[in-house]
Structure 1
Amino acid sequence: MEWIEHLNKAIDYIEIHLLDDIDYNQLGKITGCPAYNFQKIFSYISGFSISEYVQRRRLSLAAIDLQNSESKVIDIALKYGYTSPTAFNRAFQSLHGIAPSQVKECGIPLKSVLPISFKMTIKGVEEMNYRIEKKEEIRIIGIAQPLSKDIEENFKIVPQMWHKAGMDGTLYKLADMMNSHPMGILGVSVYKTKESLSYFIGVASTSQIDDTFEEYIIPASTWAVFSNEGTQESIQDLERRIWTEWFPSSGYEYVENVSDIEAYLNSDPQNAKYEVWVPVRKKA
Structure 2
Amino acid sequence: MIGALNRLVEFVEGHLDEEIDLAGLARDAGTTEYHLRRMFSSLAGMPLSEYVRRRRMTVAASDVLEGRDLLDVAVRFGYGSTEAFSRAFRSVHGVGPGDVRRDGGPLRSQPQLRFRLTIEGNTTMDTRIADRPAFVLVGHAARVPLIHDGPNPHIQSHIAALPEAEHLRLKELSEAEPAGLLQVSDDVDPDYAEGSELTYLHGVALAEGSSVPEDLDVIEVPAGAWAVFRTSGPYPAALQATWAATAADWFPSNPWRLRPGPSMVAVLERAADFSTATTELWLPVERA
Do these two structures clear the TM 0.5 threshold for a shared fold by scoring above it?
A: yes
Deviates more, 1:233-242 or 1:118-127: 233-242
The alpha-carbon distance between structure 1 residues 175 and 244, as it changes in their structure 2 partners (threshold 3 A), is same
Partner of residue 50 from structure 2, selected from 44, 47, 52: 52
From 2, 5, 10, the equivalent of 1:4 is 2
Comparing 209-218 with 20-29, greater Cα deviation is found at 20-29
Alpha-carbon distance between aligned partners in 2 of 1:154 and 1:39, rounded to the nearest angstrom: 19
Secondary structure class of the residue paired with 2:212: coil
Is 1:92 paired with 2:89? Answer: yes
Shift of 1:98: 4.0
Letter in structure 2 aligned against 1:32: T
Deviates more, 1:45-54 or 1:133-142: 133-142
Match of 1:277 among 268, 276, 282: 282
Identity of aligned residues (%): 28
The one-character-per-residue Cα deviations of 1:200-233 (angstroms, maximum 9, x if unpaired) are 6231125632322244443443432111143445
Whether the 8 Å CA contact 1:178–1:204 is kept in 2: the answer is yes
- Structure 2 match to 1:179: 175
**Residues in 2 aligned to 1:167 and 1:135: alpha-carbon distance in whole angstroms:** 31
Q: Which amino acid aligns with 2:116?
A: K
What SS class does the counterpart of residue 76 from structure 1 fall into? Answer: helix
CA separation in 2, counterparts of 1:101 and 1:277?
50
Distance 2:238 2:84 in 1: 35
Q: Counterpart of 2:204 in structure 1: which amino acid?
A: V
Given the alignment, which residue of 62, 65, 80 partners 1:64?
62
1:204 to 2:209 alignment = no
2:192 alignment partner in structure 1:
none
Aligned residues: 265
Q: 1:117 aligns with which of 107, 114, 117?
A: 114
**Counterpart among 159, 164, 178 of residue 166 in structure 1:** 159
Which one-letter code corresponds to 2:241 in the other structure? D
1:186 to partner: Cα distance: 3.5
Segments of structure 2 that go 5 or more residues without pairing to the other structure are 189-197
Distance 1:266 1:8, change over 3 A: same
Structure 1 residues 22-31 or 257-266, which shifts more? 22-31
Write out per-residue CA displacement over residues 35-75 of structure 1, whole angstroms, 9 at most, x where no aligned residue.
Answer: 2x544443332222323222211110110111234313x44
1:224 has 2:215 as partner: no
Is residue 263–residue 274 contact of structure 1 (8 Å, CA) maintained in 2? yes
Alpha-carbon contact 2:17-2:77 (below 8 Å) kept? yes
8 A contact 1:4–1:244 mirrored in 2: no
Equivalent position amino acid for 1:70 in 2: R
CA pair 92-167 structure 1, distance change in 2 beyond 3 A = same
Match of 1:149 in 2: none
Q: Structure 1 residues 80 and 264, CA, compared in 2 at 3 Å: closer, same or farther? A: farther
Greater Cα offset, 26-35 or 239-248: 26-35
CA contact (8 A) 1:44 1:236 kept: no
Please give the alpha-carbon distance, in whole angstroms, between the structure 2 residues aligned to 1:90 and 1:215: 41
**Amino acid across the alignment from 2:9:** I
Say which is worse superposed, 39-48 or 90-99, in terms of deviation: 90-99
Determine which of 136, 150, 155 is the counterpart of 2:146: 155
Instruction: Give the corresponding residue for 1:32.
Output: 31
Equivalent-residue separation in structure 2 for 1:143 and 1:92 (angstroms): 41
Shift of 1:28: 5.9
How far does residue 144 in structure 1 lie from its aligned partner after superposition?
5.6
- Distance in 1 (CA, whole Å) between partners of 2:83 and 2:156 is 35
Q: Distance in 2 between matches of 1:24 and 1:155?
A: 23
Q: CA deviation at 1:90?
A: 5.1
Structure 2 distance, partners of 1:110, 1:190, is 36
Q: For residue 166 of structure 1, report the CA deviation from its aligned partner.
A: 1.4
SS in structure 2 at match of 1:139: strand
Write out per-residue CA displacement over residues 151-187 of structure 1, whole angstroms, 9 at most, x where no aligned residue. Answer: xx9628xx68735641442872533422322023131
